[in-house]
Amino acid sequence: MASSKKSSSSKTAQRLEVKKTYKLYINGAFPRSESGRVYEVTNSKNGFVANPSLASRKDLRDAVVAARAAQSGWAKATAYNRGQILYRIAEMLEGRADQFANEIVLASGVTPKKAHDEVLAAIDRWVWYAGWSDKLSAAFGATNPVSGPYYNFTIPEPQGVIAVAPAESFLALIDAIAPAIVSGNSVVALVPGSAAIAAMTFAEVLATSDLPAGVLNILTGSHDELAPWAASHMDIDGFDISGIDKKKRAELKVAGAENLKRIHNFDGAVSPTRIFAFMEAKTVWHPIGV
């Protein structure tokens, strides 16, 4: 009997922790980078945390293809349905708030209270933007006075595929994604540095939510490598460069000029205008019946 206990104790002592594998999130799946590359994330004491995937130009192209294929279906969903799906994601974030806070502490070295406050702010921000889903037509649409026997309506519509390059924090990621997808856009998010840790856990939430595959795609790695290709990509319609170094923003705007890409930076702004920045205003004329 004593021998059995000793054997059991020995096996417990030899157990190794199961480390999490960080991949990309493209079209509702978790592929590795096609290049096979990773980069190292360390904590504030220079201790190893994880090896997230280092996304390549090919991964960006794959994400854009997925986003384009998903965008029309997402845009055709009712505003109420989109709002409910986003609210469900907020529910799931709330249920895993402690996990997100722990990951932020691990990766960035902030205090547990500050990390927890950041997660709660991100959840509240997500709910706030979700609430705008069925209010966009009233806020940004209009019935325009015209001369003649016509009705003239202005109807807000999503722009299409939007790339976002947020700053290196979970809250910044939510601030960039939520206003872009609530109106019916699909998104390719370029997540830098240590923010990859919480971002890929967020991808796990997305994968088990009702959000259609391809509507939101997450690439981890380097802004310096991916942002120029996103700016010049002819099938990306808009680009939120809020997390890009201010000295490099002008180059991205020049690269995006060829396809008239709408490029904005908001620097932390929380406003419905952040939603409308990546929407189009369509004008419809209709004859007045007798």
180-208 pLDDT per residue, tens: 999 999 999 999 999 999 999 999 999 99
Average pLDDT, the chain: 92
- Where is pLDDT greater, at 140 or 203? 203
19-73 pLDDT per residue, tens: 888 999 999 999 999 999 999 999 878 889 999 999 999 999 999 999 999 999 9
* Position 203 in a domain: yes
* Position 84 in a domain: yes
Residues above pLDDT 90, as percent of the chain: 76
71-126 pLDDT per residue, tens: 999 999 999 999 999 999 999 999 999 999 999 999 988 999 999 999 999 999 99
Question: For residue 223, which of 247, 203, 201 has the smallest C-alpha distance?
Answer: 247
Does pLDDT of 7 surpass 60?
no
* Position 2 in a domain: no
Stretch 121-145: mean pLDDT, rounded? 92
* Position 4 in a domain: no
* Position 41 in a domain: no
Does pLDDT of 6 surpass 90?
no
Question: For residue 282, which of 182, 141, 149, 146 has the smallest C-alpha distance?
Answer: 141
- Token pair for residue 262? 């709408």
Q: Against a cut of 0.95, is the pTM above it?
A: no
What is the pLDDT, as a whole number, of residue 127? 97
* Position 11 in a domain: no
What is the pLDDT, as a whole number, of residue 82? 96
Range of the domain at 100: 49-287
* Position 218 in a domain: yes
- CATH of residue 206's domain is 3.40.605.10
* Position 92 in a domain: yes
* Structural domain count, the chain: 1
